[in-house]
Amino acid sequence: MRPTAAAATAAFASPVVAVPSRAAPLAARRRLRRARRFAVRSVASPPTVPKPAAPPSKTGKWQWTFEDKPINIYYEEHEHETAENVKNILMIPTISDVSTVEEWRVVAKDIVARKGELGYRATIVDWPGLGYSDRPSLNYNADVMENFLVQLINSPNSPVANTDGEVVIVGGGHAATIAVRAAGKGLIRPSGIAAVAPTWAGPLPIVFGRGSDMETRYGLLRGTLRAPAIGWMMYNVLVSNEKSIQSQYKSHVYANPENVTPNIVESRYELTRRKGARFVPAAFLTGLLDPVQTREEFLQLFAKLDGDVPVLVASTVNAPKRSKAEMEALRGAKGVTKFVEVPGALLPQEEFPSPVVEELYSFLKESFSSGR
């Protein structure tokens, strides 16, 4: 997911990251218009009005310890008490500056309500530094996020403990790829993985590449965003304002701009105002959360799971051009058990939850029913 890719290009007009000035809003708008060349013009999709998800069965905080620091992690559990022969599903949000458990709620509620040979229990967990979890000033990178996921699944007191290794991981964007990477290393042993609109390159690297000159600029931007005072100023210009969030959702996060409601924009804006909100975006925008560096490495991650873990990949009809190319590279790739395409762009599970539910439910039945 790339909710700030276009806005962030403003910081790369020159090698020096400029301090926001009174002229910054006008300049940002001009650069934003130019940067929209990188977004796909969506094929018209009928506007949808997502049905509100019922409240979770349980919410709570789990304590993740990293570098001797306790960090509270928010999670939700969705289940039907009458379900028997239950399969556990861990849903992890797409990594972005507006990442939240909310994007999976409708899918989770729909899945657990299905009646069949298997019942389902879905746990949605916010990443550290994002959503409703604590947001400490860690040096976030892909290894840190992988460490979190590994501890979450393997710790005896975590929200997904006591699943006897029978947990299916469902993730979007970078989250899905980090899960695949951890499984390929043998750090976690999921019984299945569903990668929805999987990505591996952050907003700036996927547009500007990883040349040494660009890495220098990424470092300057990252350091500026993490700084105590100027960091908040730049974060407010690039990320934490409703116009920027609305623009990004309409240009490439959602496929149909009419689906971007004021409630969604307001909800995501509030997330960007939380204490410590800028630290993970500083890493994500500049590529530190990228689990691999090339398409070849991306494909190798999935190939490592061939024959061991069933893997569903859901590409999207209207993903931005560069992201779409990486998703399509997985069509027929080694290690991909099933490849499908669903409506949407970078957040199909929220914009078009029903098709995502149907593909996910079909994958679960095909992979885990007794008659397979």
The predicted model gives 124-131 an average pLDDT of 98
Provide the pLDDT for residue 52: 54
- Average pLDDT of the chain to the nearest whole number: 87
The predicted model gives 323-337 an average pLDDT of 98
Report yes or no: 189 and 183 within 8 Å, Cβ to Cβ: yes
Residues in the chain: 372
The predicted model gives 331-338 an average pLDDT of 98
Question: Considering Cα of 315, then 317, then 319, then 321, what sign does the dihedral take?
Answer: positive
Give how far Cα 128 sits from Cα of 36, 117, 175, 253, 370, Å. Answer: 30, 35, 12, 22, 37
User: Residues of 216-231 as b/e, b for ≥16 C-beta within 10 angstroms?
Assistant: ebbebbbebbbeeeeb
Report how far residue 37's alpha carbon sits from residue 103's, in angstroms, rounded to the nearest whole number.
Answer: 27
The predicted model gives 228-253 an average pLDDT of 95
* pLDDT tens digit sequence for 154-197: 999 999 987 665 899 999 999 999 999 999 999 999 999 999 99
Report yes or no: 287 and 218 within 8 Å, Cβ to Cβ: yes
Whether residue 358 is predicted with pLDDT greater than 80 in this model: the reply is: yes
Report how far residue 35's alpha carbon sits from residue 202's, in angstroms, rounded to the nearest whole number.
Answer: 15
The predicted model gives 143-157 an average pLDDT of 96
Provide the pLDDT for residue 44: 38
Q: CATH number for the 57-370 domain, one of 2.130.10.10, 3.30.420.250, 3.30.565.10, 3.40.50.1820?
A: 3.40.50.1820
Whether residue 250 is predicted with pLDDT greater than 60 in this model: the reply is: yes
Torsion angle (degrees, nearest 10) of CA 73, 79, 84, 90: -40
* pLDDT tens digit sequence for 260-307: 999 999 999 999 999 999 999 999 999 999 999 999 999 999 999 999
Provide the pLDDT for residue 85: 83
Whether residue 208 is predicted with pLDDT greater than 70 in this model: the reply is: yes
Provide the pLDDT for residue 323: 97
Whether residue 143 is predicted with pLDDT greater than 50 in this model: the reply is: yes
Whether residue 5 is predicted with pLDDT greater than 90 in this model: the reply is: no
DSSP letter at 89?
E
The ranges assigned to domains in the chain are 57-370
The predicted model gives 45-60 an average pLDDT of 64
Whether residue 22 is predicted with pLDDT greater than 80 in this model: the reply is: no
Whether residue 21 is predicted with pLDDT greater than 80 in this model: the reply is: no
- pLDDT class of 2 with cuts at 50, 70, 90: low
Provide the pLDDT for residue 163: 63
Question: Which tokens in the block code for residue 223?
Answer: 């350091």
Whether residue 58 is predicted with pLDDT greater than 70 in this model: the reply is: yes
Question: Which tokens in the block code for residue 279?
Answer: 């630290």
Whether residue 26 is predicted with pLDDT greater than 70 in this model: the reply is: no
Provide the β-strand partners of residue 313.
195, 339
- pLDDT class of 12 with cuts at 50, 70, 90: very low
Question: Which tokens in the block code for residue 199?
Answer: 């990505």
Q: Is 27 exposed, middle or buried (0-12, 13-18, 19+ CB in 10 A)?
A: middle
* pLDDT tens digit sequence for 90-112: 999 999 999 999 999 999 999 99
Report how far residue 201's alpha carbon sits from residue 9's, in angstroms, rounded to the nearest whole number.
Answer: 15
Provide the pLDDT for residue 53: 57
**DSSP symbols for 236-267:** HHHTSSHHHHHHHIIIIISS-GGG--HHHHHH
The predicted model gives 303-320 an average pLDDT of 98
The predicted model gives 355-360 an average pLDDT of 98
Whether residue 228 is predicted with pLDDT greater than 70 in this model: the reply is: yes
